[in-house]
Structure 1
Amino acid sequence: MAEPIKVLVTGAAGQIAYSLLYNIAKGDVFGKDQPLFLVLLDIAPMMPVLDGVVMEIRDCALPLVQEVIATDKEEVAFKDIDVAILVGSMPRREGMERKDLLQANSKIFKSQGNALDRLAKKTVKVLVVGNPANTNCLIALKCAPSIPKENFSCLTRLDHNRAKAQIAYKLGVSSNDVKNVIIWGNHSSTQYPDVSHATVKVKERKMNVIDAVKDDNWLKGEFITTVQNRGAIVLKARKLSSAMSAAKAISDHLKDIWFGTPEGEWVSMGVISDGNPYNITSDLIYSFPVQIKNKTWNIVECLKISDFSCDMMKATAKELLEERETASEFLSGV
């Protein structure tokens, strides 16, 4: 058996974590032979609920879980961790402006970034899920200067999976037959789901998605808006935000970081834009197509970008710039 790794999940009493923790604990993320210390962080009022989550994890009798630590203290939660999954954030409430949401979450992710800087291993891999995920990730990164910026990423895998699923449903194939879709930009309604370079296997024949779908209006219209607005649609239907699909996407994201992407394939991930090949403003957390090897991501280069794609990519970058400017006032002194 390998040496145990210490995995932190914040917002651990919430819906997403409830689905996610079982995936992690039974070995679906970090491997079937990887022992785990699970560290669960939530706010003080949620500790009774979190105690129940701990009981359930123990009652699963999962052999990989060597210890479960539940806490409301960052000093305990972030100590010597190998992986940080930052799920917990302030949700947008009725009447809140986006600026209000950014202000509330800036405080949370500034504090957690500082805790990462002081307490976590310098090799820690940090995944930000709490929304607005891209900008929250940038805040945490800026507040943890001793940790390589390449160790930070935000979740756009849920959007990536949604895009794959829409194409698969349209063509009547398995989602596993759809490869190399791209989510560009922000995890918001401005994101750009792009199938220009995606392929699909139809009746054992590998084809470009555009040629297989044969419906440019759908690909540039309903397909894009469905992926962009899927979270809001799920929320309206369930009266609760996406949880099961979000937990699956987190698991997919982390598994790819840990074990790498298959040869010739890429996934979507929000990463720092410094030095990227697509003329995206530096110092944004922007979703790109990435390939991963040895726990290190690299942006896929030399993809041909159409005028339509370029306009969509710029629009979502503009929103991220505005978010960064709004959040910057809360980062004074960092």
Structure 2
Amino acid sequence: MENIVLFQKILVVLFTIAFFWKLVKYMWSFLSMEKEPVTVLVTGAAGQIGYAIVPMIARGAMLGPEQPVILHMLDIEPAAESLNGVKMELIDAAFPLLRGVVATTDIQEACKGVNIAVMVGGFPRKEGMERKDVMSKNVSIYKAQASALEKNAAADVKVLVVANPANTNALILKEFAPSIPEKNITCLTRLDHNRALGQISEKLNVHVGDVKNVIIWGNHSSTQYPDVNHATVTVNGGDKPVRELVANDQWLNTEFITTVQQRGAAIIKARKLSSALSAASSACDHIRDWVLGTPKGSWVSMGVYSDGSYGIQPGLVYSFPVTCEKGQWSIVQGLKIDEFSRGKLDATAQELIEEKSLAHSCLN
């Protein structure tokens, strides 16, 4: 009798082990299942920023090291041969996450089924051109691209406009793609945000990863306002205010601001070309935080559709401090704005109001 009971206990143990082994194998197979590829569009992909960003996306810098991607690359007809060369290089690089590449000059084909659109292509200002001439060209481009995205992209497509004037290009795109939610259309001010982090890091001789919560307010232009009033640096496990550590309000209110505002021009002067590498990296940062979320206790700067926060006119695409969670951004609320900052916020908003008016005049 005792032997039978013992045998029954052994059977129970064996069945239990077998059950848990199957459960572990099932959970492991579920967790290790490859994710569905995300389709990412890059316009102007044969240009400098495009050439810099597509390998970053293919390597996982934008969506993470476990997210497969399909790249759609668009450029204008004169750049078709160069665009095909970029495709050849992507194939030759044998990126494990890259599940397909489409290189095309057809905007409809490029936008088909895209989940994320990085709008790098635009008409640059050339010597002798008036501001209205550049705006007119870009209004036409973004009107057409808005229509193509609305018709062909995934319903929940996330759009990042990089091409200048980025804020107003994003606004035009939003107006001509009404079915895309306004919260899904943003513009790049993360480059300016990262530049501000870099300047504080250099000034204090600290790791850039220890600096957080700078803010870029307003337009991606020379009127933008890099604000450190709420920024901190992690020192010995605690966060200390940047203003306290720098201990030089004169520098923070003058040279720091103008350096960030004019950094793009300084890089062009130094390398005779625009800041393609840092723009590409910042675009990846922007999308990654938007999709995967911002670290707890930190915010980033994004050009987003104003809801009236901080007294900024609704209907502008304006850079605010935001946090991101589950693919959604939210403007950080309740930050104190001093008199100096108020003037800066309003000045860059006024420029955006003027740009919006100019863009609308180009539509008539």
- Same fold at TM > 0.5: yes
Contact 1:153/1:270 (<8 A) preserved: yes
Say whether residues 1:119 and 2:152 are aligned partners.
yes
Q: 2:96 aligns with which of 58, 63, 69?
A: 63
Tell me the SS of whatever aligns to 1:121: coil
RMSD, aligned CA: 0.9
1:240-281 CA-partner distances (Å, limit 9, x unpaired): 11111101100100110111001111000000002x320100
Deviation at 1:204, TM superposition (A): 4.7
Distance in 2, Cα, partners of 1:70 & 1:194: 40
Q: 2:275 aligns with which of 237, 242, 247?
A: 242
Structure 2 residue identity aligned to 1:221: T
Say whether residues 1:307 and 2:342 are aligned partners.
no
Query: Structure 1 length as normaliser, TM-score?
Result: 0.97
Deviation at 1:203, TM superposition (A): 5.1
Contact 1:110/1:331 (<8 A) preserved: no
1:84-143 CA-partner distances (Å, limit 9, x unpaired): 000011111111222111111100001101111111111000000000000000000111
**4+ residue runs of structure 1 moved beyond 3 angstroms?**
202-205
Deviation at 1:239, TM superposition (A): 0.9
Distance in 2, Cα, partners of 1:216 & 1:205: 22
Relative distance call for 1:3 and 1:205 in structure 2 (3 A) is closer
Structure that is richer in helix per residue: 2
Q: 1:255 aligns with which of 288, 293, 300?
A: 288
Tell me the SS of whatever aligns to 1:286: strand
Distance in 1, Cα, partners of 2:35 & 2:245: 45
Alignment of 1:117-266 (within 5 A): 117-202=150-235, 204-266=237-299
Q: 2:54 aligns with which of 21, 28, 31?
A: 21
Tell me the SS of whatever aligns to 2:310: coil
Distance in 1, Cα, partners of 2:44 & 2:350: 29
1:23-53 CA-partner distances (Å, limit 9, x unpaired): 1001121122211111000000101101110
Tell me the SS of whatever aligns to 1:301: coil
Say whether residues 1:282 and 2:314 are aligned partners.
yes
Say whether residues 1:319 and 2:341 are aligned partners.
no
Deviation at 1:8, TM superposition (A): 0.4
Say whether residues 1:53 and 2:86 are aligned partners.
yes
Distance in 2, Cα, partners of 1:195 & 1:277: 19
Q: 176-185 or 13-22: which moved more?
A: 13-22
Stretches of structure 1 that go unaligned for 5 or more consecutive residues are none
Contact 2:135/2:362 (<8 A) preserved: no
Distance in 1, Cα, partners of 2:214 & 2:278: 18
1:147-199 CA-partner distances (Å, limit 9, x unpaired): 10100000000000000000010000011111000000000000000000000
Stretches of structure 2 that go unaligned for 5 or more consecutive residues are 1-33
Tell me the SS of whatever aligns to 2:41: strand
Distance in 1, Cα, partners of 2:295 & 2:238: 19
Distance in 2, Cα, partners of 1:96 & 1:158: 26
Structure 2 residue identity aligned to 1:319: E
Say whether residues 1:267 and 2:295 are aligned partners.
no
Structure 2 residue identity aligned to 1:112: Q
Structure 1 residue identity aligned to 2:332: V
Contact 2:225/2:348 (<8 A) preserved: yes
Q: 29-38 or 197-206: which moved more?
A: 197-206
Distance in 2, Cα, partners of 1:200 & 1:251: 23
Identity %, equivalent residues: 55
Distance in 1, Cα, partners of 2:281 & 2:238: 28
Which one has a bigger Cα radius of gyration?
A: 2
Q: 6-15 or 29-38: which moved more?
A: 29-38
Structure 1 residue identity aligned to 2:137: A
Structure 1 residue identity aligned to 2:269: K
Tell me the SS of whatever aligns to 1:278: helix
| Residues matched between the structures, number | 331
Tell me the SS of whatever aligns to 2:137: helix
Tell me the SS of whatever aligns to 2:330: strand
Contact 1:5/1:37 (<8 A) preserved: yes
Distance in 1, Cα, partners of 2:152 & 2:80: 22
1:58-94 CA-partner distances (Å, limit 9, x unpaired): 0111111111000001110111110100001111111
